[in-house]
Amino acid sequence: MRDPLPGPAPAREPLFTGAVSSSAPFADPLAVPPHDAPGSPAPRDRHAAPMASAYWRGWPEVRADLRSSAGIVLALALVGVPAGLLWFRLAPRADFRVTDEGPVPIGNPSEELLVAGDGVLALVLVGVGLLAGAAAWFLRRRRGVATVLSLALGACLTSVVAWQVGEFLGAGPTEQELAGVGNRVTTSLTLGSWAAMALAPFGALLSYVAAVLYARHDDIGRIPAPSGGSLATDEG
């Protein structure tokens, strides 16, 4: 067999078509580009404050709503007074007649009076919470984070005030009343389930968040305040 003739090797067909560009060399991460080069970014101070976009942009809105939020908290705390009165009027209690042998129940009082009293307070508080959340939603110039927080705090105060007012008005008989034979006394109004206290803030947030979920726009329909800084509110 003869050896191949000396000469250049035949050219091979390319395995793919198109131009191939050489990859750019890896940039040294420790290298500092010259500041005089065109298009190079300006040097940044290591100790400079972060850019404004790194902060939450809702703080100006919260600061603008501080006064109205304080009003919501105060109003809900005052609402606790009629809520406590309503609990006192609606909660069932048992009457007793004082005899020589001690207090004797009048009629056939139910053994579930304590549970019934807690249930009445729970219904009152959840109703107040739902109404408070709906009313706060109509403050269109104050819709936002501050209103939600004020609703939660104010509704908690509603529960506390209602509880204290109800137990104050529904205090049990004194020792003098129990010592007088023939006196008619009524059992005290006492809260037995502390979980009922959470129903007012729960109802307020539930009502408000439900309205937020049905909002058509991302700004939840918040109306910007006029340039004069008036705190007047629009309904709608």
Structure confidence by residue, pLDDT tens digits, 63-95 = 777 888 888 999 999 999 999 999 999 988 888
Q: Return d(Cα 205, Cα 199) in angstroms, integer.
A: 10
pLDDT at 233: 42
If phi > 0 it is left, if psi is from -120 to 50 it is alpha, else beta; for residue 9 that is: beta
Q: Which of 9-23, 46-60, 156-170 has the highest mean pLDDT?
A: 156-170
- Please report, for the chain, the start and end positions of each structural domain, with discontinuous segments joined by +: 67-212
3-state secondary structure 114-155: HHHHHHHHHHHHHHHHHHHHHHHHCCHHHCCHHHHHHHHHHH
Task: Tell me which of 235 and 117 has the higher pLDDT.
Answer: 117
Q: What is the pLDDT of residue 146?
A: 81
Mean pLDDT of the chain: 75
pLDDT surpassing 80 at residue 220: no
**Per-residue pLDDT, 203:** 95
In the chain, the percentage of residues whose pLDDT exceeds 90 is 29
Q: Where is average pLDDT lowest: 51-55, 161-165, 175-179?
A: 51-55
Instruction: Tell me the helices (H) and strands (E) count for the chain, helix number first.
Output: 6, 3
What is the band of 174 on the pLDDT scale with cuts at 50, 70, 90? confident
Q: Residue 123: is its pLDDT beyond 70?
A: yes
